[in-house]
Amino acid sequence: MKEDRKPNPPAEPTRSELEILQVLWQHGPSTVRFVNDQLNDGKRAVQYTSTLKIMQIMTEKGMLARDERSMKHVYSPLLEEKSTKGLLLDRFMEATFNGSATTLLLQLLGNKKTSKSELDEIKALLNKIDPDKL
């Protein structure tokens, strides 16, 4: 008898996995060495072996694909950037702001000095929104 399985929910990357995905989204398919170097150019030091292990786990989870055709394995993201960020934002907004985009926006704008150019960008974006499509 075949077991009825529900599809797995979309993968929610950890902080470390998200940092790796950011590198791959920005630079495209890359080796572990390249990803590790990019991470070390950031805020904190990361060991090569740690980056390798996380990328291997991400491959097992279905977040990355590994091309083993050459000596240097090249990893590519299987998670799409926009949908992954949207999923993370939705979950954060639901858990932290009871799903209210208004409360989230007010908090964001109230926590830091927003520049005039940033406010102009926000206004332009709001003006482009078609209320009939909401």
Tell whether domain 15-77 is in CATH 1.10.150.120. no
- Are the CB atoms for 55 and 75 separated by under 8 Å? yes
Q: What tens digit of pLDDT does each residue of 23-65 get? A: 999 999 999 999 999 999 977 899 999 999 999 999 999 999 9
Torsion of CA 15, 21, 22, 25, to 10 degrees: -160
Q: What tens digit of pLDDT does each residue of 85-126 get? A: 999 999 999 999 998 988 888 888 877 778 889 888 988 988
Q: What is the mean pLDDT of the chain?
A: 87
76, β-bridge pairs: 65
* Predicted local distance difference test score (pLDDT) of residue 9: 57
Residue 1 has pLDDT above 60, yes or no: no
CATH 1.10.10.10 spans which residues of the chain? Answer: 15-77
Alpha carbons 130 and 13: distance in angstroms, whole number: 32
pTM of the entire predicted model: 0.76
66, β-bridge pairs: 75
Residue 84 has pLDDT above 60, yes or no: yes
